[in-house]
Structure 1
Amino acid sequence: MSEQSKQGLFVGLTTLDLIYQVPQVPQANQKLVAQASLIAAGGPATNAAIAFQALGNTACLVSRLGLHALAALLKQDLQQWQIQLLDLMPQSAQMPPVSSILVTAATGDRAVISRNAVSLQVEARHLLPLPSADIVLIDGHQMAVSQAIAQQAQRQQIPVVIDGGSWKPGFERVLPYATYVICSENFRPPDCHTTTDVVAYLRELGLAKVAITHGDRPIEFWQDSTQGSLAVPSVSVVDTLGAGDIFHGAFCHWILQPQISFSQALKQAAQVAAFCCQFWGTREGLIRLQQTGGQSLKFE
């Protein structure tokens, strides 16, 4: 599927995802038997790295895992996808973040409970020597490390993609080094209450290429003086878990291909994410893409 294999550096969160497919989200004191379940490595940067790798590239994940028994499960999953790992705290015995996720079978909607990396922040002095990269993605879950990497990438003229799923304190120190900022509609910097506010905030930082996703509704994008929208492919949704992460990983792949514009890369990424929403779990769609060499998608 890859037009030209590239190297990507993905910085941020790795969680142990406990995923359950359920008929509905349970009410208080209700017990449910799941229709399906699985355990996988998750987190925005992690899922994006796996999507990037699945599209024929080489992905390196910069995250915190450590020596806890649960970290061994995460490392095993990453190894299966041939993801290179730079563990920020390899000797830490702390438990990695665990996410409990309920996916409603009829709609594909997901409910997530997680601690993320709130209590597992790493100082930039723990940063290891970085491998060469053609692109860097930052999800904002390791802010000090992300700032140091973003600064280094800018000096080396390596494009930096920001996954703005939600606003996190410290993003204001990382955003000035970004090349592309792709936010969800839930991304709200301080004193920003509308999309107009968000775009104005980002443009004031000198960011020329900005996109805001809205689930299954059109993607809005701004490129220099151009503003536009892109329709999201309509598919029969089975599971939306990880769709945004896969979108970001696919964007990193497509923006590096020759003659591909910002809007075209967004469009191609949306097709990849939509395709994966047709399958249960965060991996099956990517496996199908690998098996078919991308023939399941009709890229324009």
Structure 2
Amino acid sequence: MTNHGLFVGLVTLDLIYLAQSPPKNNQKIVATDYIVAAGGPATNAAIAFSHLGSTDTTHNVSALLGIVGSHPLTQLIRGDLQKYQVAINDLNPTTNNPPPVSSIIVTQASGERAVVSINAVKTQADRQAIPPEILQNMDIVLIDGHQMAVGIEIAQRAKAKNIPIVIDGGSWKPGFEKVLPLADYAICSANFYPPHCHTQEEVFAYLSQLGIPHIAITHGEKPIQYLTHLFPCERELEGGTNGIIDVPKTQAADTLGAGDIFHGAFCHYILRENFIDALASAAKIATFSCQFFGTRRWMES
């Protein structure tokens, strides 16, 4: 059996350093390790989805829809994606602009990270750039909101084809109000606050009013909160049922990309499990990934 996933959004080049601490003003530090890898929420999720399909009887095929271009730095991105068998659908293949680059310093003792990055604000694609047959054979779609015009169009097309849509709500981005009503699953971070929302309860209420059947908010190593309108569980809340899922405990070596890996794992498991079980399974994978430096070495263990 083969499952196909489309991941829409940000493609970056990540320069990841392991050091005793981030530098202070006018300080130079020496890293003890480093990794160069493709990055971005949709990108890391696509790689996790592809990898998890190679570890059991189900084979996953990942397609990434974003801007890569032809700048010399993009060869590093292309090489990394090829290694993990992720197909690139480039929304602007002729651009010579450098890709967004993120510089990340991971603190060796705690696994905490400091990030300097440029997102896709300067590299937005038009929906006319979408390949016409991009959704053919797709079983699931994830949208991270960094290519919003493209994400809206993909969500509309996927909805018309009854392809499940997962929203990676890392933070609120203008345009999400057009994508979210089409979503089947909204998996958001604790930093996701739509307009006029100031508490987690208000976020759940906002997303529920949009008609999203399944909603979850992650809190790092703390329990995941969820609300589902189609799967009975603990207790009713505004027409749905809610609960929490404990996240496995671990000694984190690096938390970078854990949320992205969680979303890729969720896309893998939701094609075979119910919503609550898929959240729990994805949490186990994301927690495991935190035991390793960088966003790739967990797959080599």
TM-score bracket, normalised by the shorter chain, equals over 0.9
Q: CA deviation at 1:157?
A: 0.3
Q: Deviations over 1:133-182 (max 9, x none)?
A: 10000000000000000000000000000000000111111111100000
Equivalents in 2 of 1:40, 1:146: separation in Å?
Answer: 24
Q: Deviations over 1:38-83 (max 9, x none)?
A: 1000000000000000011110000100110111110111111111
Q: Deviations over 1:101-152 (max 9, x none)?
A: 0111111111111111011111101111204210000000000000000000
- Segments of 5+ residues of structure 1 without an aligned counterpart are 289-300
Corresponding letter in the other structure for 2:148: M
Equivalents in 2 of 1:104, 1:47: separation in Å?
Answer: 21
Contact 1:210 1:221 in 2 (8 A): yes
* Counterpart pick for 2:173 among 168, 171, 194: 168
Q: Deviations over 1:75-108 (max 9, x none)?
A: 1111111111100001111111000001111111
Equivalents in 2 of 1:228, 1:75: separation in Å?
Answer: 41
Corresponding letter in the other structure for 2:177: E
SS at match of 1:176: helix
Q: Which position in structure 1 is the counterpart of 2:109?
A: 106
Q: CA deviation at 1:236?
A: 1.5
* Counterpart pick for 1:188 among 185, 189, 193: 193
Corresponding letter in the other structure for 2:112: D
Q: Alignment length, in residue pairs? A: 283
Structure 1 runs (4+) deviating above 3 angstroms are none
Q: Does 1:47 align with 2:44?
A: yes
Corresponding letter in the other structure for 2:5: G
Q: Does 1:89 align with 2:65?
A: no
Q: Deviations over 1:222-279 (max 9, x none)?
A: 001110000000012111111000000000000001xx21010000000001111111
Aligned ranges for residues 66-85 of structure 1 at < 5 Å? 66-85=69-88
Equivalents in 2 of 1:190, 1:181: separation in Å?
Answer: 16
Q: CA deviation at 1:25?
A: 1.6
Aligned ranges for residues 1-300 of structure 1 at < 5 Å? 4-56=1-53, 57-129=60-132, 130=134, 131-224=136-229, 225-257=240-272, 260-288=273-301
SS at match of 1:69: coil
Corresponding letter in the other structure for 1:100: S
Q: Which position in structure 1 is the counterpart of 2:233?
A: none
Corresponding letter in the other structure for 1:256: L
Contact 1:54 1:287 in 2 (8 A): no
Corresponding letter in the other structure for 1:213: T
- Segments of 5+ residues of structure 2 without an aligned counterpart are 54-59, 230-239
Q: CA deviation at 1:27?
A: 1.2
SS at match of 1:49: helix
Q: Report the TM-score, using the length of structure 1 for normalisation.
A: 0.93
Q: Report the TM-score, using the length of structure 2 for normalisation.
A: 0.93
Equivalents in 2 of 1:158, 1:124: separation in Å?
Answer: 19
Q: CA deviation at 1:22?
A: 1.1
Equivalents in 2 of 1:286, 1:48: separation in Å?
Answer: 13
Q: CA deviation at 1:5?
A: 3.3
Q: CA deviation at 1:287?
A: 2.3
SS at match of 2:73: helix
Equivalents in 2 of 1:27, 1:168: separation in Å?
Answer: 31
Contact 1:9 1:136 in 2 (8 A): yes
The alignment yields a C-alpha RMSD, in angstroms, of: 0.8
SS at match of 1:24: coil
Equivalents in 1 of 2:253, 2:186: separation in Å?
Answer: 28
